[in-house]
Structure 1
Amino acid sequence: MTTRRGFIGGATAAGAITLLGGAPAVASDTLETGTTDAVLDTAARQRQARDAILNVNKGMRSNYAVLKSDLIKQLSPVIVVQNDAKGGKFTLVLNGTQEAANPVSEVFELAKSISHVPLGIFSVIAPYLSDRIPNLPNASRIDPHDLKMVAFKGTGNTDWTTPLQAYATTLTTARQQLERANLPLEMVGSCSRLLDAAVRFINQSLASRTFDMKSFEDFSGSVYPDIRTNMKYAADAQIAGVQGIMKTWRAKVGEEGWKDLYVVVLSQWTTSVLNQNSIIIKPCMNPAKVKTHLIDLPAVEAPSDPIFVALDNLARIVQDNIAAEMVFPVDQEVADALKGQQDLLSDEILDQLDGVTAGPGLASSAAYSGAAGAGALTATAVAAPAAADACPFHARSAQA
């Protein structure tokens, strides 16, 4: 015989599981058969009803995917830029055809190769650093928690000696061959000094079988002027190469088509704000459309099919531009959200959280509102003037 307490307890458990989307667990020794069947029947009808509702969105997504797939074939003209060690691979998509080029002189890659030497040494020794910040001029800028995570092997381990010696051999070989590389004389000088200083630091560290953050910063600080010289030559090479290919393709596309040009720049998150190629490309585009047609697309790693990834995302952007105005003709703010990078629910969520006290250790909704505003500047599809102000590097420079 079912008791009142047993019935309420069983029904409550069943209702809770049903609410979470699962089938209700009903104890046979608690409920009578008729009651169990009724509960199961109600749960089944609810699941069926909810599935019918969810199928509406599945249908939308299916139709949306078909439109996007067909639209990809119509995108033109588009330039896809893959940032790489060579200064960038550029692909022009025009009326169903593709043309690729690596327009940047090899001087760009050579200058960056030598400039990366301090980072190459750091990558070897970092796990063996002390996890305590020494008394350095920039000590306040080093996050203690980050340092502890990077210096995960500690100073008692000398396994760094073998890879560091191997890297020294690589640097020595490059130094011996430097004069034959036919580089600008000033760049030969900067590269020579940088390589010599790096080999000295490595040899001293190997001889004493020790190093620390200060000794490395003394080395890296001493070669900074030479890195700046190399950066100048790398930038010159990249500007000349990118401007050259843009001029060539502009003539091919024609002025009428060029004014509607989309450019998608694929980059890593760490270079997605004020990306070098985006900066050079921006003045080459139609000023009236550059804000919406120059798109920085950050990724974790380079995609296996970068052209498809760029066009697939661009197709979504293009169709959302039209959908936004047609689906939300009475609310321009919501339409702008669909057209841009803002999530449609973000404003509503911020409104509902406004004034709500956050839990321990969490920022208030007002703080998120401010962060959302700042984020909108840095995440906008390419380097608007406000994005430069939001750049962490510029912020640090201003503080300094």
Structure 2
Amino acid sequence: MAGSTHTVTNQAPPLVGHDVFTGDRVLTAAVERHLAPELREEALAELSGLGRSCGSLQSREWAVQADAGPPVLRTHDRYGHRVDEVDFHPAWHRLLGKGVAAGLTAAWTRPGGHVRRAAGFLMWNQVDAGTCCPLSMTHAAVPALRTDPELAAEWEPRLTSQVYDRGLRPARLKAGALFGMAMTEKQGGSDVRANTTSARPLAEDGTYTLTGHKWFCSAPMSDGFLVLARAPGGLTCFLVPRVLADGTRNVFLLQRLKDKLGNRSNASAEVEFDGTWARRVGEEGRGVPTIIDMVAATRLDCVLGSAGLMRQAVAQAVHHCEYREAFGAKLADQPLMRNVLADLAVESEAATTLGLRLAAAQDAAEAGDERERALLRLAVPAAKYWVTKRCAPLVVEAAECLGGNGYVEESGMPRLVRESPLNSVW
């Protein structure tokens, strides 16, 4: 029969239409272990709903579309006016909106919020790590802003909102807001004490103008940014709003977008400040201590993000091997392959367990537990180092379990491979 040689057999079906949360026994057990009994029923139901969304065909399609249609910089409008905007694929907005609605920026205002949010964030990284960047920075900005009660009162309700309000407007007119961070510069990178961006005081009310540049500014369409600049009293933390209170645009000049290995759905920009209005956060000369709580929160998100990538890579590898036959048996039943899959699963599950334990420590520290706070100071940097460094080799090994199929874009594995070094580089 014509075309009979093209009958497709011995291929794994797509891994879609499942609950990413309830299908992950280690994750569900960690949530149950670390949440108070009175919170478990609601949290498990909520996370299962998010798990179904993460495992849906629709979410997977949006992630592919957002990755294949990366953001585009528009410096000027058709008339020559400077606008400095970034256009995102519609799928990006759908994904980001779902992440905000799922409470991935709302941990600080909910009982057991950090454990619940950590589980959701780990799952959302399995869909699209690009949108996790603004979700992480928005979440992490809260402790830094709390050093200034006035700023916290103004911004925290919007940052912890579960409403995605994407328009660029004054914060007071928005139901929800997103935050970014701009610390590094061309000449220094992570050595922020080499920063040269200057801050000139405008008045005694903590307002300044900034002049300088930032080498990496992710999610440049966010509503506000925490920025380090050199004030008369030394390196200082500032809040730079994208839109000023009177509705005019702040001076936020986008020079270009980075052409990155992975994380392609997200925009990372080089930005220039030229008389940019800013509000001081914390004391002059205390910029690093002020912003360090934000850095610590994003470090924990690096652990959770890498754990999510590892989990998705292992899930894809196991799924493939449960269907694919070779040499007379399912791949999953071949002794050497079983050893490989077991090793991958153990490391993935360890990363998940560690990430949720640290999130539970954050909840306890927020409640005043100083032992847990001390644990966070030591364990978060160590976990960030180890888990993120192990992510890339694990994901590559998982891709190899699919053979040549894992080297093809349609499998989704190359996107995971490109994403896997990001958190260790951060």
TM-score (norm 1): 0.25
Structure with a larger share of its residues in strand = 2
Bigger CA radius of gyration = 1
Structure with a larger share of its residues in helix = 1
